[in-house]
Structure 1
Amino acid sequence: MSVKTEITRADILPWAEYARDRAEHRKRITAIKRNRRVEVGPFVTFYFENFDTMWLQVQEMLHIERGGDAQVSEELAAYNPLIPKGAELVATFMIEIDDPLRRARVLAGLGGIEETAFIEIGGERIVGKAETDQDRTTAEGKASSVQFVHFPFTQAQIDAFRQPNARAILGFSHPNYSHMAVMSEATREALARDFA
């Protein structure tokens, strides 16, 4: 089975067609997302992206904003970089704290957290690379609450990740947030399908 690594205009449904079947599309992608979510520590949730999750995001943006054909190019440029390209996993991670004062205090101490995300598999650590479209840590060291990170794998690391019941650990090495989580087998299996 080939892995789709880019959304093209041919993949985009016309507004009326998407609107008609929107509930079914959202239900289908929600089922896919279920095993692509990992909580790490008290505040961070990773959402691993793929063609389907980004396709829904593009369709939703077009549905809500109704920008027509002119908007399609913008959305494809924004979301295609977040689709794994065959030898990587890509995630959005969110730092989720309800209390605004506590959120501001915590984010002020998490500058550069996007550079410290990692996946460990087979005794090797794959360090994440932050999406480079914009800087998500301010000059004062405050982290953005939404981050995008790519985990580039070697073929040997992909092979190790694909092994049934392989122990895959997701975490951070940030001095103020050094939490880790072991991925469930269902999550590891779902993410293993992102590799070409």
Structure 2
Amino acid sequence: MQLTGKITPDSLMSLEAYTKWRKLHKPEVMAHRKLRSVMLGEHIHLQFESETTIRYQIQEMLRIEKIFEEEGIQDEIGAYAPLVPDGSNWKATMLIEYPDIHERKRELARLIGVEDRLFVEVEGYDRVYAIADEDLDRETDEKTSAVHFVRFEFTPAMRVAIQAGAAVKVGCDHTHYPAHLSISAETLSSLAGDLR
């Protein structure tokens, strides 16, 4: 899988080429995804995306749906490519996970607005709150969605600090879900590579 900085139909593999590539490289992509995965408390999972994770997602969708026509390929790119960080930010898929369906329903009602209360705190700087669901609103007056897409936008000074090894915390200050944790050095090293 070649990283080009911009996902275009021409930069994707054919279904046949991807099927062969996948057999050899899926474990590497899964390890990369795991490295960029953060559990915030017991129920919020943040999957920080990268060009690798999004290319993989697009290729998987094309493979599963057997999409090979240009319009379908462009639709998948349009759906997922906005989740690739663009040098000044981190982007993540936020999953609210409650295995029990009744507990999930109750908690999604209690957690309205939780996606707007997520933050990243770079040592020495103010918190950066998530910009959530820029593509469409994912909550109602009754409940929030179990899936959100969030972006954390950093100042140039914050980006330099992160790349220089500053400690970084991720957290949530929602009334019904207070949580925070320090991002591990290994994960932070991967995330720092998203910044320019």
Contact 1:92–1:149 (CA under 8 A) maintained in structure 2: yes
Letter in 2 for 1:170: V
CA deviation map 1:27-80 (0-9, x unaligned): 221121122011101101110001000000000000000122231111110011
| TM-score normalised by L of structure 2 | 0.93
Matching residue of 2:110:
109
Give the ranges of 4+ consecutive aligned residues of structure 1 lying more than 6 Å apart after TM superposition: none
Across the aligned residues of Structure 1 and Structure 2, the Cα RMSD in angstroms comes to 1.3
1:13 aligns with 2:13: yes
- The offset of 1:89, in angstroms, is 0.4
- The offset of 1:10, in angstroms, is 1.9
Contact 1:5–1:86 (CA under 8 A) maintained in structure 2: no
Structure 1 segments unaligned to the other structure (5+ residues)? none
What is the rounded CA distance, in whole Å, between the counterparts of 2:40 and 2:31 in structure 1?
21
What is the rounded CA distance, in whole Å, between the counterparts of 2:14 and 2:25 in structure 1?
14
Contact 1:93–1:147 (CA under 8 A) maintained in structure 2: yes
What is the rounded CA distance, in whole Å, between the counterparts of 1:110 and 1:31 in structure 2?
30
Q: How does 1:1-196 map to 2 (within 5 A)?
A: 4-69=4-69, 70-123=71-124, 124-140=126-142, 142-164=143-165, 166-196=166-196
Change (3 A) 1:128 1:152: same
Contact 2:169–2:181 (CA under 8 A) maintained in structure 1: yes
- The offset of 1:5, in angstroms, is 4.1
- The offset of 1:8, in angstroms, is 1.1
| TM-score normalised by L of structure 1 | 0.93
**Count of aligned positions:** 192
- The offset of 1:182, in angstroms, is 0.8
What is the rounded CA distance, in whole Å, between the counterparts of 2:59 and 2:48 in structure 1?
18
Structure 2 segments unaligned to the other structure (5+ residues)? none
- The offset of 1:175, in angstroms, is 0.9
